Amino acid sequence: MMKHDSPENYNIKTRIGPLLFDIVLDDTFRLANAPSLFNRHNHSVYEIHFVIEGKGKLVMDRLEVELQPHYCYVIPPGIYHAVIPDKGSQLRKFTIRFTYTELNEHELFFPANEVEALKSALAEVSYFCMEDTGENYRLLTDINQELENRPIGYYTKLQSCFNQLFVNLIRAAAPGTQSAYTIPRRIAYDKRGMIIDAFFDQYRSGLTIEDLASELRLSPRQTNRILQKMYNTTFRQKLTDIRMEEGKDRLKNSTDSVTSIAAQLGFASYSLFSSTFKEQTGLTPQAYRKQKRSEF
């Protein structure tokens, strides 16, 4: 990390569905050090303290909380507070501040019910603390490592880590809350790839485009257009390619006769398999088998 590259300058944002989280770090984040100023103050954002080691006090209106290692303390907006280390104790902690807004653009594949559940839970957050089982500390360590080393994709990794932190905090703020919604279901159009793949797994049978069209509930002409779009090939060519790949494997790794392999692959005759194989590979099945076995 560059010497003067202060975390205070980072503009880190992440999304959970349409909820946009704006994350603020400070210069103490990299070293997990407590700040040197302990005056009472408040923020317009949420503030989270992850205590790593040392002890101190979190002083709020009519409330004084003992700070302990491996605990996380969440302070909602507007609450006056001060963090005061104990004398003779080096208080080390990660501090994160964040706020969130809801964007007008909704992600098509993100369940709307989850958005409402998260918003409702966030709106109910008041001061709370929770013991960290180690997961949040690992996430914070990952965040620091990503900021320090900056490997490819590090910003995406940062977003992932922060999203996990926020979900952990929301769950801790609303313990025992179960979700009433389910993972979005695929519509018929989304399932076409799975239907086509499963269909061609039956390459040993006498497959026809009419059979595939029936499963897709399309016409043969529409089915070929789908195959061109998704696989850049025709029905006949895709079936031939699958059979040829399987044929190569069996010629190379089995002791079955060429006639037997032709039948296993769904070819009507040995001669049809042989001519098709040579057209695709430039070799007869026998020559291909001999060549591959000579390589070992």
pLDDT along the chain (296 residues), means of 10: 70 94 87 69 91 91 90 93 88 92 82 88 91 92 93 97 95 84 72 90 86 92 92 93 93 93 91 93 93 81
Mention every residue, 6+ apart, whose C-beta is less than 8 A from residue 287: none
What was the pLDDT predicted at 296? 65
Tell me the C-alpha distance between 85 and 62, whole Å: 18
What was the pLDDT predicted at 28? 77
What was the pLDDT predicted at 11? 95
- Taken in order of first residue, the domains within the chain and their CATH numbers are 7-173 (2.60.120), 188-294 (1.10.10.60)
- CB burial readout 91-130, b (16+ within 10 A) else e: bbbbbbbbebeeeeeeeeeeeeebbebbeebbeebebebb
What was the pLDDT predicted at 179? 80
- Whole-Å CA distances, 219 to 28, 161, 193, 223: 64, 47, 16, 6
Tell me the C-alpha distance between 207 and 239, whole Å: 8
pTM attached to this predicted model: 0.69
- In the numeric block, which tokens belong to residue 224? 């070929």
R_g (Cα) of the chain, nearest Å: 31
